[in-house]
Amino acid sequence: MIFDRLQNLLNRIDEGKRLINQYRPLSPAIVSRLREQLVLEWTYNSNAIEGNSLTLKETQMVLQHGLTIGKKSMKDHLEAINHRDAIVFVEELAFHDTKITERNIKEIHSLVLKQIDSQYAGRYRDIQVRISGSSHTPPEAIQLPQLMEQFAKKRLFYVEGHPVEQAALAHFDFVSIHPFVDGNGRTARLLMNLVLLKNGFPPAVILKNDRKKYYDALEKGHRGKTDDFIFVVGRAVERTLNLYFEVIPQIKSHFISLTEASKIFPYSQDYLNILARRGAIPAFKLKRNWMVTCEALQAYIKKHS
């Protein structure tokens, strides 16, 4: 069941990516607007998951206006600025056709903890750690050089399979190793999105509100079942694709809702919803509503008549 659900999700993501690519190059205004929104949401949510107290609005004020928020710690401010800078570095790595190295991983981590923890920023831990709330025990520090070399080769050098799956597994393997004293979660999410960006997919923003679902899926992964975690990451990618759909005017103008489609074509809204969820027809969600094209439904009818 989870495999079918996951495969349907990956089908929808592939179709969404294909649809967006039809309208590239996007206008500079759209690209700038999307990037600003994604950097803000990615930074806010990734930090909030780890306990940062800045709100989304406060994070925006820090990043976009350089303001200091009263009664909020310097650490909270630095985490926002550092994460933004780490995203810029990840983007640079993604858009250059070079292999990702262990050095790059350490550089990302160093940016995450810049001026926060000078002792351990960019350095593998030399102590044993435990993951709060998890039954998983990370490997001993002496094993880290070998494990991280293997990780970089397996998850960052030679990526096989669907990029969303590989990005999720890169995240999962990284946090399982837990190579740093602090900042592992934020670094894992940055590496996950580095894999996605290098493969032409948008970043996955794990929402603070999905924190429990996210951690529960990670814990299942430690018990040998990673499909749930891949699904959580996939849903985050799909959400980002939907942000693209909402701001590309050509896409919005060519799609109709399932309610409208059910009045034109010989299918009920419930049946069309099933087709959309399974990825059987090109569709995307605008707010809470699935949107489809008449051309896609005509092609489906022709294929199945």
38 close to 31: Cβ distance less than 8 angstroms: no
Catalytic residues: 178
Which residues touch 226 (CB under 8 Å, ≥6 apart)?
A: 168, 169, 172, 220
Give the DSSP per-residue string, 102-118. HHHHHHHHHHHTTTT-T
What's the token pair of residue 95?
A: 């858009």
C-alpha distances in Å from residue 5, one per residue of 24, 30, 216, 277, 296: 29, 32, 18, 9, 21
Q: How far apart are CA 194 and CA 166, in angstroms?
A: 11
Task: Tell me whether the omega of the peptide bond preceding residue 25 falls within 30 degrees of 0, making it cis.
Answer: yes
Which residues touch 53 (CB under 8 Å, ≥6 apart)?
A: 72, 73, 76
Q: How far apart are CA 301 and CA 297, in angstroms?
A: 6
Q: How far apart are CA 264 and CA 258, in angstroms?
A: 10
What's the token pair of residue 286?
A: 């605008």
CA dihedral (244, 250, 253, 258) positive or negative = negative
What beta strand segments (E) does the chain contain? 256-257, 283-286, 289-292
Q: How far apart are CA 124 and CA 105, in angstroms?
A: 10
69 close to 52: Cβ distance less than 8 angstroms: no
